[in-house]
Amino acid sequence: MRMYGSSPGHSENVLISADGLTSMNNEARIPEGGFALLSTTSQNAALAHFITALTFDPYQELLWTGNNTGRVVSFYGAQLDKYTAFLSSTNSSIRALLASETVIFSLTSKRLRANRRQGISLFTHMSDHMTDLTCMHRLSDVPHKLLLGGNQQQIIQFDVETQKEIRIVSVKQKNCLALRSNQKFLFSSDSEGNVTLRHLTTVDAIHALQAHQGSIADFDVCGNKLITCGYSPRMGKMAGDRFIMIYDLRTLRSLPPVPLPMAPSYCRFLPSYSDGRIMVCSQSGELIVMDLNEQSSQMPIQLDTNGFAITSLDVSTSKQCIAFGDQTGLIHLFSDRMEPIFNENSWGTDFPDPIAFHPPVNIDDPEPSYGVFPLPFPVDDHYASDWPEQLCIRRFRQPDPISEKVIDSMRMVQFVGYAHNPRAGTSLRGFNVCPYTSSTHDKCSNAMKNDDILHIPKFYLRTEGKLTSKAEEIDFKRYNRTEFNALENSVETSPACMLLLAMYHLMNVRTVFLSHFCYLEGCISCEMNLLFRLLTDRPVSSVVSAKNFMKTFRSIDDGKKWADAVANASLAQTVRLFMQVFSKILDKELSETTAGVALRKEMEISFTLNNHCIRCSEHYQSALAQLYISLAYPTSNEKIGFCTLLEKTLNCPEQNEAICQKCGKLARFASTRRVRLLPNILALDMTASTETEQAFWISHIQAFENRSVTAPNSVTEHKVKLCRYGTECRNPNCRYLHNDDSKCETNVLTTEGTTTYYECPHYIPNSVHIKITDGICTVSENKMENSTSFHLVAAIFIINEDEETQTEEHLVTAIRSKQDSCWILFNSWSVTRISENEALRLHACWKLPAILYYVQDRENGSKEGNRFFRGLILTVQKETNDFSFLPIPAAKNESRAIIPRSVFWNDLDSNKIKIPERGSKVAIYAKYAISEAGEKRVSEVFAVDEDGSCFISSVIKEPGIKSDMDNSQTLKRVSLKLLYLIQEKITIIGYKIEHLFEMLNIHVSEEQVKDIVLLYRSLFKRSLSLNALAQHFFGESVDEEETDPIDLARLSLRLYTKFNELKEADEADINIAVLTHALETNIS
């Protein structure tokens, strides 16, 4: 018998060699348009069991078969050489086979089994939902999930990684006998003649096509076409339809059916050369290859099955081979070419190592060669000639400079220089590069290192002293020539101040805390609200204190534990512990509030943990969310870049101890992290608190950092003169250059042609790009497809002025003021503008990173991508040619919390208090006391309205101490009342009232606050007492210690009214001068 077929790529008949074919096929010709029998083999030569499942491996050149006894056998290549064979089930037939990258899945009626290609069993899954399964399918978009269907009204979604059923989908049809899919839909067929279109993710039914009156025998999908073959009832029995149905998936309508000379049981698309090329096959072995566009050109082929039925069929992914399985256990392989392949790009298949045959050795030979005896290979893969790791590090070695004699004797031909080779008579005559001399390089490196150590820029050094008097506030302009307010920094408040400064300049984070409002005592979020208000509202550059924040922080239990833990810790350990405690407190305070949801949206990174219990081998998933990421430093000495370090941190496995959900005991867990969602602001904790981490920075800074140097031909010395007073210059507008003043760095950005800096690489990049693929992150400095861009906008560094000890360490914060422009460096109350090179520069001896903030840039150049820069306006001063950054008015950019009127209400007197109306005037008097710690604090606050009625009478109780007084309130409650008055534009009058607002960290505009001391200050800048003012104007004598504070508040209101009367009569200065002269006369 002859088997005919064709190869569309050949116009003439091709003769296939009979090598490897069975004896009944001596030759086969392939006419155009068909296939020919290539190989025939038996699955089991001893026993004949019919083939129930058959599939080509889409990754390797393998054909997998399964029979009715539960045995799985694979064959390699077009010659069908047996590869592996194993028993999948002992009492059930194989219903379906599916090959993945590493696993072969075999499906029986009630179980799913996974084996390796070599036959090693991985797992077996059974459940109550698996009653009569017949098919399984794997979606290309979700490779770790399987869909299982069968003669049951349920479709099972099975997760291969967790080995669990993640979803059970009930179907309205009677069953689900076969599953197919394309890029848009999932298709299922049933025994009632329906083909149902389903959603790829939810598996919900979308539309149903009634293709046949009986069961669907087979169907296939390609592009926008669907073909089916099936059965219909005739004379009370089911008979095969002698046609195939065709549907257009774009309109979901049927096309004219294609009549056939036989009833097909299988149909497949063969889209190698045409989308309309199909094949149909009946159970009796009649095969037809045809084109739907030319239905008349049908190529019939008859399979020789000796009268036995075809039980299974599959087509390879390359569409070059078709495999058939029959009832006798024979596999028939047809192809359209002489040397077919199953896949276009197949992986290599693992084969057993060949048996090694060694030459024989005569037992009587006394001098055999040692190479004859086979010896085992060493397990550690270590040779005696291997160099140690520390000598195998790839490192740049700078060559020695070319001598001047060679350069002088050089002869130029076009752009190539020729010179006499000084090594012509040596062994190095063939080398054209100067050899490396480690001694010279080491001397240069040591000299550069020592030079950097001795010259730490002044703006990095610790600022000594405190600002306590008004005179020093004037001198403060010498330290801060910008329009940014600084935080007063001390050893105790250093981690909090620098972190709060960085968070304040993150516009979205600032808005989150400014919109927060609550009545809870000891809420650090409210203290951040007050602090951020003060930093925003103050119009001039000044120093803001964070003492109130630290008092509240230390009053919390977690804050007390932090203070005790860092008593003898290094600064790096202090910063790391503060980040942990600070994030924990914020998460607990804000919880499910609106501010908490907004903060988590901005800064929270979400992970999915795949946990594996070491004790009971249970696998389950859990969720993890963090407000910041601590870098996982490598333990080896391998030199890796910042992006690689961040990538390993995001994808690093974890090991911890917890209570297992299955065994209920404390066990060790091995977890792998997968990133679910990246935050808008990526916070990185990079503190090096151990010796290993510090050694990492020392080695990597030496390997990656290269300090930029000034150009040799710079004209700085000629165009910019040095100031004769140097660092002791007191002129804030001095136009001369100071040796390490802030202008040294600013000139690089603002003055062209004065100072030239080379581009220098830095270990910390100014931007990173992160791409997530199935939860695995890829981090790069270069833009990638579908990646998320992050730009560095804030950084906190640890500065060590003494390399030998860590007692001289302090923190500085660098803020990026404008994209690709200068940075602002905050060092206590010293604020300096520096270049980007200087900001990103690291030094192993005195400058290491602590915390970095990267902000997501969703769209380049869009408003959404420049959220960080919305809070600043760049203005140019014409006279000084300098940059200034002015805060935008708060109402346009910040959503502040509105203080309600209920802040004045108590349970007992909610109906008695008359709250002043908007725009009115009130008078406030405050008393102070000395705390146990020796610090001055506010003890009482009283306020009256224009009528003299008291609406605030509060005794401040200390945190954590109970008070028996009815009018005792917390300092926070009193601060909220005062903020309400400021919010309602109420004019506030009081004696030394500015001192009260300064202690409460509240800013009031000059138009809204009227301090009696400042109004009646004499020409000699002398402050007049309240008693002196009362005696002079009203003839009353008052004692601030014994007089009722409410009366003192009313007296302040009267004095303000008296001042306005004198001012209208233009007698204010005369009365104040007379009063001052009288006081001086009495004193003398």
Residues 752-765 have pLDDT tens digits of 333 334 456 789 99
The alpha helices in 751-845, defined as continuous H runs, are 836-840
Distance CA 556, CA 549 (A): 11
**Cβ within 8 Å of residue 517, ≥6 positions away:** 526, 529, 897, 898, 899
Sequence length of the chain is 1084
Query: Which of these, 461, 637, 680, 495, lies nearest to 571 by C-alpha position?
Result: 495
Distance CA 103, CA 160 (A): 10
Distance CA 628, CA 644 (A): 18
Q: Given this model, what pLDDT does residue 807 score? A: 60
> Contact at 8 Å (CB) between 54 and 322?
no
> Contact at 8 Å (CB) between 740 and 458?
yes
Residues 503-523 have pLDDT tens digits of 999 988 998 898 888 888 888
Q: At what angle do helices 547-555 and 557-565 cross, to 10 degrees?
A: 100
The residue assigned the tokens 């290599």 is 348
The least confident of 9-13, 75-79, 551-555 is: 9-13
The least confident of 28-42, 764-778, 985-999 is: 28-42
- The CATH code of the domain at 468-600 is 3.90.70.10
Determine how β-strand 330-335 pairs with β-strand 36-42. antiparallel
Overall average pLDDT of the 128-152 stretch:
93
Burial degree of 702 (CB within 10 A; 0-12, 13-18, 19+): middle
Tokens describing residue 527: 């203290």
- Indicate the average pLDDT of the chain: 80
Q: Given this model, what pLDDT does residue 1081 score? A: 62
The residue assigned the tokens 């000299």 is 447
Residues facing residue 943 across a β-bridge: 924, 952
Question: In this model, does residue 73 exceed pLDDT 70?
Answer: yes
Say what percent of the chain tops pLDDT 70: 81
Burial degree of 83 (CB within 10 A; 0-12, 13-18, 19+): buried
Q: For 861, left (φ over 0), alpha (ψ -120 to 50), or beta?
A: left
Domain extents for the chain? 468-600, 901-1083
**At 497, which helix (H) or strand (E)?**
helix 494-504
Taking the CA of residue 62 as centre, how many other CA atoms within 13 Å lie in the half-sphere pointing to its CB?
26
The least confident of 216-220, 318-322, 893-897, 1014-1018 is: 893-897
Q: Given this model, what pLDDT does residue 973 score? A: 87
The least confident of 91-100, 227-236, 712-721, 882-891 is: 882-891
Considering only residues 561 and 907, tell me which one the structure prediction assigns the higher pLDDT. 561
Q: Given this model, what pLDDT does residue 239 score? A: 92
Determine how β-strand 987-990 pairs with β-strand 1009-1011. parallel
Confidence of residue 13 (pLDDT cuts 50, 70, 90): very low
Tokens describing residue 545: 């204190």
| AA identity, residue 412 | M
Q: Given this model, what pLDDT does residue 881 score? A: 31
Query: Which of these, 228, 236, 306, 220, lies nearest to 268 by C-alpha position?
Result: 220
Residues 767-826 have pLDDT tens digits of 999 999 888 899 999 988 888 999 999 999 999 877 655 567 889 999 988 655 789 999
**Cβ within 8 Å of residue 318, ≥6 positions away:** 272, 340, 341, 342, 343, 344
Tokens describing residue 894: 């910040």
- Strands ordered across the beta sheet of 654-659: 619-626, 605-613, 666-677, 654-659
Q: Given this model, what pLDDT does residue 429 score? A: 75
Distance CA 848, CA 811 (A): 10
Question: In this model, does residue 851 exceed pLDDT 90?
Answer: yes
Question: Within a 10 A sphere around the Cβ of 467, how many other Cβ atoms?
Answer: 17
The alpha helices in 817-950, defined as continuous H runs, are 836-840, 890-893
DSSP symbols for 705-745: -----B-TT--HHHHSPBPTTGGG---TT--SBPTT-THHH
DSSP symbols for 7-38: -TT-SS-EEEP-TTS-TT-S-EEE-TT--EEE
Question: In this model, does residue 473 exceed pLDDT 80?
Answer: no
Distance CA 6, CA 320 (A): 11
Residues facing residue 796 across a β-bridge: 813, 851
Considering only residues 829 and 164, tell me which one the structure prediction assigns the higher pLDDT. 164
> Contact at 8 Å (CB) between 861 and 521?
no
pTM above 0.75, yes or no: no
Backbone angles phi, psi at 1014, to 5 degrees: -75, -35
DSSP symbols for 1046-1080: HHHHHHHHHHHHHHHHHHHTT-HHHHHHHHHHHHH
> Contact at 8 Å (CB) between 1051 and 1026?
yes
Greatest C-alpha distance within the chain:
139
Q: Given this model, what pLDDT does residue 966 score? A: 57
> Contact at 8 Å (CB) between 108 and 89?
yes
- Note whether 468-600 and 901-1083 share their fold: no
Question: In this model, does residue 1079 exceed pLDDT 70?
Answer: no
Confidence of residue 436 (pLDDT cuts 50, 70, 90): low
Residues 271-292 have pLDDT tens digits of 887 788 999 999 999 999 998 8
**Cβ within 8 Å of residue 91, ≥6 positions away:** 70
The least confident of 251-260, 349-358, 448-457, 925-934 is: 448-457
Beta-sheet strands, E only, within 860-904: 872-877, 882-887
Backbone angles phi, psi at 451, to 5 degrees: -65, -40
Distance CA 752, CA 744 (A): 13
Considering only residues 827 and 751, tell me which one the structure prediction assigns the higher pLDDT. 827
CATH of 901-1083, one of 3.40.30.10, 3.40.50.261, 3.30.1950.10, 3.30.420.10: 3.30.420.10
> Contact at 8 Å (CB) between 36 and 1?
no
Distance CA 94, CA 72 (A): 8
The alpha helices in 666-715, defined as continuous H runs, are 691-704
Taking the CA of residue 307 as centre, how many other CA atoms within 13 Å lie in the half-sphere pointing to its CB?
0
| AA identity, residue 993 | I
The least confident of 381-395, 460-474, 610-624 is: 460-474
> Contact at 8 Å (CB) between 547 and 493?
yes
Query: Which of these, 662, 695, 678, 668, lies nearest to 625 by C-alpha position?
Result: 678
**Cβ within 8 Å of residue 490, ≥6 positions away:** none
The residue assigned the tokens 């602001």 is 681
